[in-house]
Structure 1
Amino acid sequence: MNGYLSLGRPPRIEPPYPGWPSEQIATVEEAIAEAMRRVRAEKSSRDIFAAQENELTNWLHRMLWRLLVEQTVPGFTCDVFSPPQRGAKTTSHDGSRVSLEPDLSFFRCGIAMADNPDDGWFCECKILDDGSSHGVPNYIKDGLMRFVIGDYAWAMPSAQMIGYVRHAAGKGCVPAKRLHEQFAKLEPKSGKSYAVLTGLLAEKAREPHTDGVLQVHATTHARGFPLRDECAPGPITLRHLWFQLG
């Protein structure tokens, strides 16, 4: 009877999960970039500058749904990806926090969500504006560190940070330089292994876009929390996709 009930159902895999193929990650990033291009085409500069983080992310999310239905981004299709989720609830690595909500979550078709709900591509979005509280320190403290301490993507080896760069931060903004400068300030103050922030790994092979989509960079961070079976999660690589909005 048990064998009959399990027909067609993939076996449960315990975390940490293997990383997504690079081709699927590139597809998701291109879908996010195309969605933002369309948002910028439909919204006025005034609307974009006035929008709060949640509003920008809501626009991005709705456009991602439209792209998935239209299937205009190669590989971003309904037979490969489930509809992207906005604020999907997840739990921390130890289950102590049960209502965490990454800004955007992507899941693949064929993955048994009931068994593997943490096998996804999780994104956190932040405004980057030097003229307000939305600077790089906030981007790290209230965004990036959520992945490092095990709130988000604790079962995955990689995830995504999305930056909405505007106003004073927009002119000549270089993600690698901004992050490197802030990490240099934080590293001497860090006394815990999970907060060790390593240097940047620029993807030299990928050319920057000329339409406001900045070159993707990756940072790798040690994680010191244990998983529920006491095994180590390993480091996490965060891919930084920034949009220059003005």
Structure 2
Amino acid sequence: MSGLVSGLQQDHLSELIRGQDLPLPALDPSHVELILELIQLAYEGIKADYPGAVFAGDEKHLNSLMVDRLNHLVGDDPVASLLVRAVSRGTETKNYDASRFEMRPDIQISLTSRQHLFPLIVECKLIDISKGKTVDRYCKDGLARFTTGDYAWTNREAMLLAYVRDGASTTSHLQPFLAASMALSPPEYAVVSLPQKCAASLPDAVRSDHGRYFSYVHGAQNGKLPGDIAVWHLWVS
């Protein structure tokens, strides 16, 4: 039975990455920053229109509102629509070796420059220290999905969106946490570079770089390393 399962996993990978050389080419940083700006704008609109959801709603409700607002923004913006095809929530995917099915990233942004099978992944987490929504969980349940090959394993970049409710920032919380992780041997979360400010127009957007703990397992890609992944963090409050 294990041989059959392994064969089926290979079939799924073969069909998914048909004709692709992995990892895919990196996105232009200016395009990533434009998407960050769209997400910030979407959040600000939702905060104005639905303050109850922003201050008390859980992640799934916030994510649903964000996806709908982002699709409206893209549809209304001729420049954004040149870059983004559509935004979706919870679309089923698989990890790098197809050993895990029915995985559902929080937000997937389908880009006009890529097949819709390879979206930009946005994982979303609440930051509310008093209620146990800590930066440790942000990394353990969010960042780690990118270093271990659960999400964005075909890509060179991914995003983490934090809904902050307690005044925390990337400078006060994420930076020291990842610095401590980087000092471990081996570095936890495979930290290659600590968060650096990006998208200067945004209140709290940074980029960190991370190694990845897996290699590709199928066909011509077998044994190939995916290389580092750039993770763009946007913290909104």
TM range (shorter): 0.7 to 0.9
Contact 1:194–1:222 (Cα < 8 Å) also in 2 = no
Q: 1:187 to 1:234 in 2, by over 3 A?
A: same
TM-score scaled to structure 2, two decimals?
0.83
Q: 1:188 to 1:174 in 2, by over 3 A?
A: same
Q: How does 1:107-118 map to 2 (within 5 A)?
A: 107-109=110-112, 111-113=114-116, 117-118=117-118
The residue number in structure 1 matching 2:197 is 203
DSSP 3-state at the match of 1:59: helix
Q: How does 1:178-189 map to 2 (within 5 A)?
A: 178-187=173-182
DSSP 3-state at the match of 1:76: helix
The residue number in structure 2 matching 1:5 is none
Contact 1:149–1:194 (Cα < 8 Å) also in 2 = no
Rounded to whole Å, the distance in 1 between the matches of 2:21 and 2:188 is 22
Q: Percent sequence identity over matched residues?
A: 26
Rounded to whole Å, the distance in 2 between the matches of 1:81 and 1:133 is 34
- Structure 1 residue runs of 5 or longer lacking an equivalent are 1-10, 209-213
DSSP 3-state at the match of 2:111: coil
Q: Does 1:87 align with 2:87?
A: no
The residue number in structure 2 matching 1:236 is 229
Q: Does 1:217 align with 2:231?
A: no
Contact 1:207–1:215 (Cα < 8 Å) also in 2 = no
Rounded to whole Å, the distance in 1 between the matches of 2:83 and 2:193 is 33
- Structure 2 residue runs of 5 or longer lacking an equivalent are 1-17
Shift of residue 111, structure 1, vs aligned partner = 3.3
Shift of residue 41, structure 1, vs aligned partner = 1.2
Q: Deviations over 1:7-33 (max 9, x none)?
A: xxxx93221101112232122111111
Letter in 2 for 1:200: L
Contact 2:179–2:194 (Cα < 8 Å) also in 1 = no
Which of 199-208 and 18-27 deviates more? Answer: 199-208
Shift of residue 110, structure 1, vs aligned partner = 5.6
Shift of residue 88, structure 1, vs aligned partner = 1.4
Q: 1:69 to 1:95 in 2, by over 3 A?
A: same
TM-score scaled to structure 1, two decimals?
0.80
Letter in 1 for 2:57: A
The residue number in structure 1 matching 2:79 is 75
DSSP 3-state at the match of 2:80: coil
Which of 178-187 and 141-150 deviates more? Answer: 178-187
2:57 pairs with one of 48, 51, 74: 51
Please report the RMSD computed on the Cα atoms of aligned residues, expressed in angstroms.
2.1
DSSP 3-state at the match of 1:240: strand
More helix by share: 2
Q: 1:204 to 1:80 in 2, by over 3 A?
A: closer
DSSP 3-state at the match of 1:159: strand
The residue number in structure 1 matching 2:67 is 61
Rounded to whole Å, the distance in 2 between the matches of 1:158 and 1:165 is 22
Q: Deviations over 1:178-202 (max 9, x none)?
A: 11222244345554x7832234242
Shift of residue 223, structure 1, vs aligned partner = 0.8
Q: Deviations over 1:141-168 (max 9, x none)?
A: 00111011100101111110000000xx
Q: 1:106 to 1:174 in 2, by over 3 A?
A: same
Q: How does 1:68-147 map to 2 (within 5 A)?
A: 68-71=74-77, 75-77=79-81, 79-109=82-112, 111-113=114-116, 117-118=117-118, 120-147=119-146
Rounded to whole Å, the distance in 1 between the matches of 2:162 and 2:115 is 31
